[in-house]
Structure 1
Amino acid sequence: MHHLPFSLELRLRTQYLSLGEMTGPVSDEILRQEVHPGKWSALDNIAHLAVFQPIFQRRLQRVADEETPLFEPYAWQEDETFAAYRNLTNRELLAQYRHDREAFIRYVDGLKESDFKRKGRHAVYGSLNVHQLIEMFVLHESHHLFTIFKLLNFGK
């Protein structure tokens, strides 16, 4: 992963570990509580992170395989995997999340310098190179980690 800035590489390799540290000791019952009616619970956010990681890896693969592919925004309402993951336990989600992150890191580790210059287009955010896409992924993950932290500690 020598083609990424140090901070991005470090966050990609370690940030996800905070999910287990934050939620591992918390019961599924608490994680499933809908703190704000109609909004995602902490477990819903965990399920989303677990579902989105392989989706994002497939997006990077499309950038490698296609000339500037277009990515539509993720629509959780239409995602059958997300619906299924919402019924899993936190332990199951964390195991899947760790497994998929290891695969994601291996994928990024295998990218060549020229791969980082390739681009994809996001329907909302526009044209992004692979480096920017990975940064976007890590920041997206961070947003959900912070949301989970708030739900568990402040009920917000």
Structure 2
Amino acid sequence: MYQQTIERFCNQHKTIKNYIDDLPPEAIYRRLNPDKFSIHETIAYLTRYHHVFMNRLHMIIQDINPYFEVYKPDRDPEFRFTCAKSTGSLLHEMYRVRDELCGFLQAIPSEDFARIGIHEVLGRMTIDQWSEFFLLHESTQLFKIFKLAGSFWSMESVLHSNVIHLPLLSNYLDELAV
């Protein structure tokens, strides 16, 4: 695995804190668009996907060419529980699992990086390619958080609400969403 990829893998997620540090709770928990995730829900999605990705890596190492469907939170019973946690708790969990992922990737023997996992849409990918996919997917979600944070401050009239919105299961965010 390229050193730049490992560095991105071990650090890219840390920018979330910079995006949300100065936001009030209503900016984090409220959906600006009823059909799109809030910042909190997006962080919950990213946190849950860390666990999904770790599981996929283990399966790629253990099995021959395992097949993976597109991850959809509305089909994942654990996502609701993840979403119910506080944002601070989610960030703590994400950092912890990310450290585990970094250690796992750095400990994989070089010959195992050629092992294949088959994605429902993207097809055959090596562990290197799965790692790049994870980072690209995460960067898309980070950009969404960045835009949502900016949108909150640029709104002319902000409706303050302390209601935490759980995801609408019929409107899911999948890992290929743009």
TM-score range, shorter chain: over 0.9
Q: Per-residue CA shift, 1:114-141, capped at 9, x if unaligned?
A: 1101001001100000000000001111
Match of 2:73 in 1: 76
Give the whole-Å Cα distance in 2 for the aligned partners of 1:70 and 1:89.
33
Match of 1:132 in 2: 129
Counterpart code for 2:137: H
Out of 105, 108, 111, which is 1:108 matched to? 105
Counterpart code for 1:57: M
Give the whole-Å Cα distance in 2 for the aligned partners of 1:19 and 1:81.
22
How many pairs were matched up?
153
Note if 1:91 corresponds to 2:116: no
Q: Per-residue CA shift, 1:65-105, capped at 9, x if unaligned?
A: 00000001112102222111222211111111111101111
Match of 2:8 in 1: 11
Report the TM-score, using the length of structure 2 for normalisation.
Answer: 0.82
Q: Which ranges in structure 2 are unaligned for 5 or more consecutive residues?
A: 155-178
**Any idea what SS the aligned residue of 1:127 has?**
strand
Are the counterparts in 2 of residues 64 and 115 from structure 1 also a CA contact under 8 Å?
yes
Q: Per-residue CA shift, 1:28-69, capped at 9, x if unaligned?
A: 321111111121111110000000001101101101000000
Report the TM-score, using the length of structure 1 for normalisation.
Answer: 0.93
Relative contact order (C-alpha < 8 Å, sep 6+): which is higher? 2
Superposed displacement of residue 10, structure 1: 1.5
Match of 2:149 in 1: 152
Task: Name segments (4+ residues, structure 1) moved above 6 Å.
Answer: none
Match of 1:33 in 2: 30
Give the whole-Å Cα distance in 2 for the aligned partners of 1:11 and 1:19.
14
Q: Which ranges in structure 1 are unaligned for 5 or more consecutive residues?
A: none
Q: Which has the larger radius of gyration?
A: 2
Match of 2:21 in 1: 24
Cα RMSD after superposing both structures:
1.4
Superposed displacement of residue 24, structure 1: 3.4
Tell me the percent identity: 27
**Any idea what SS the aligned residue of 2:125 has?**
strand
The 1:27/1:82 distance shift into structure 2, 3 A limit, reads farther
